[in-house]
Amino acid sequence: MQKVNPKKKIFPDQSQNRPGLEYKMHPEPEYDNLSPGSNKLENKKCIVTGGDSGIGRAVSIAFAKEGADVAIIYLKEDTDAQFTAKIIREKYSRECILISADISKEKNCITAIKTINKKFKHIDVLVNNAAVQYPQKKITDIPTEQLLKTFSINIFSMFWITKAVLHHMKKGSSIINTSSVTAYRGSGGLIDYASTKGAIVSFTRSLAANLADEGIRVNGVAPGPIWTPLIVSSFDSAKITTYGSETPMKRPGQPVEVAPSYVFLASKDAQYMTGQFLHPNGGEIING
């Protein structure tokens, strides 16, 4: 019998409590490739949930680099959020609003959007990105409390925030939802998380059809394994050390490698795209 090669160790042993902090990761994720922007989002007003760290941070910074002002909705990771805001304000000279809110509650979603709109006056781009995951070996290990929390943050919040934002959008605006490769191939250890990500795909395609006549585009991004605080606060150290090594590219992606997908979908470059998903996932073919 042919010997199976063990997964390649990529990262050192580490773990964090949820929701994880980017500045404590080793190595820290890459969030900016330092290339110049080209004003693809000049003077746009954007919202990014979970924009304090991980993919959200990279997207927020990429938007600012392209000339946009950004409002970041995050839970409580103030150090990460302030760091992201500093880059947006000082390095790229754009406005950044920070809103700390638990978006698992509808009233908090509504309040956050009202606060942002008072400052921005209108919204051009919404990125629904915030998410949680709680690995469990069996479906019988998933308590109802966890199930409700995962769905409330990962998919219910998208309904609540989108409903609140639509009042402040106009023709030409764009909504971008973050799904996952798990929506297409499933995940035996993340059943509830993968289920929400599948729901996001259907939500995105349905909302795109619903808003097409209003000229508002709705698309999504379905990343593969990406090196973010969500990972080091979700899995044990053994899984973390080899995280992403199972992809065809034999490594996880960096947030900065995912952010261009969002820039593209938010810009006029994608004006003939709606109801679609982009798949920065290291080469996995998922036919979605």
Catalytic residues: 193
Identify the three-state secondary structure at position 178: strand
Which parts of the chain are beta strand (E)? 45-49, 69-74, 96-100, 125-128, 174-178, 217-221, 277-278
Residues 198 and 154: beta-carbon distance below 8 Å: no
Nearest Cα neighbor of 120 from 171, 45, 42 is 45
What would the two tokens of residue 229 be? Answer: 């605080």
Side-chain-side CA neighbours of residue 213 (13 Å): 1
State both tokens at 259: 């952010």
Compute the distance between CA of residue 56 and CA of residue 129 in angstroms, rounded to an integer: 7
- The dihedral through the CA atoms of 284, 136, 191, 158 has a sign that is negative
CB 199 within 8 A of CB 23: no
Q: How far apart are the first and last CA of the chain?
A: 35
How many CA atoms, within 13 angstroms, populate the side-chain half-sphere of residue 93?
3
Percent of the chain that is helix, strand, coil (3-state, to 5):
40, 10, 45
- The full length of the chain comes to 288
Amino acid identity, residue 188? Answer: G
SS3 226: strand
